[in-house]
Amino acid sequence: MTSVINYISSIAIPAVILFIVAYGVKEKTKVFDNFLDGAKEGMEIVLKMFPTLLGIFVAVSALRNSGIIDLLCNLISPIINLLEIPSQIMPLAILRPISGSASMAVAVDIMQNYGVDTLTGIITSTIMGSTETTFYTIAIYTSAVGIKKTRGILLAALAADVAGILCSTVICRILS
C-alpha cells in the first residue's frame, strides 16, 4: 500500500502539468505564453506586497525580542486565571494572530514541555487549528487587492481568534 501511495505522490505534479499542457494544446491556446503572463503577474503581486511583508517580519521580530509578550501575559493573567485558561498557552494565544512560524515554535515548545496528550498540549493543537495568522493574512489579501482601510476587518478577525482560543479551551476541557 505504501508503494502505491509513493508512486501516486511522485507522479501527481507531472500528471497535472501534462494535463494542463494537453488541455491547452487541445483548446489551441498558447500554453507557454499564458504561463509567462501568469508568472509576470505573480511577480508584480509579490513586488507590490513586499513592503507589507517586510513590515510584518520586522514587527514580529521586535515583539519576540523585546519581552512584550511576557509583559502582556502578566497583564492579562488575572483574566486568564478567572476563565481557567492554562497560562502556558498565553504566549501562543498572543503570537498566533501575528506570526505563523513564531506560533509554531511556541506550540512545539509547549508540547515538548507539557506533552502532546495533556490538556495543555491538546488545547495548543486545537488553537493552532482553529485560529489564523490574522495580521499576515489581512496584510497579504488587502495589499493584493489594494484595500487601505482594514480596521473593521482587523476587529472581526481578532474577535474570531479570541473566539477560537476560548472555544478551544472550553471544548478541550469538556472532552478531556
Q: Please check the confidence at residue 6 and state whether its pLDDT lies above 90.
A: no
pLDDT in tens, 81-113: 888 889 899 989 988 988 887 888 889 889 999
Give the number of domains in the chain: 1
- Which residues form the domain of 148? 51-175
pLDDT in tens, 50-67: 887 777 777 777 777 788
* pLDDT band at residue 18 under the 50/70/90 scheme: very high
Please check whether residue 111 lies inside any domain of the structure. Answer: yes
Please check whether residue 59 lies inside any domain of the structure. Answer: yes
Hey, what long-range contacts does 56-59 have (CB within 8 A, 24 or more apart)?
56/98, 56/99, 56/135, 56/136, 56/139, 59/98
Please check whether residue 169 lies inside any domain of the structure. Answer: yes
Whose cell is 493573567? That residue is 77
pLDDT in tens, 100-149: 878 888 898 899 999 999 999 999 999 999 998 888 888 888 877 888 78
CA atoms within 13 A on the CB side of 101: 5
Please check whether residue 60 lies inside any domain of the structure. Answer: yes
pTM value is: 0.65
Please check whether residue 130 lies inside any domain of the structure. Answer: yes
Please check whether residue 80 lies inside any domain of the structure. Answer: yes
Q: Please check the confidence at residue 20 and state whether its pLDDT lies above 80.
A: yes
Residue 150: all three cell numbers together = 482594514
Please check whether residue 12 lies inside any domain of the structure. Answer: no
DSSP run (H or E) holding 120: helix 119-130
Which amino acid, one-letter code, is at 43?
Answer: M
- The answer to whether the CB of 89 falls within 8 A of the CB of 127 is yes
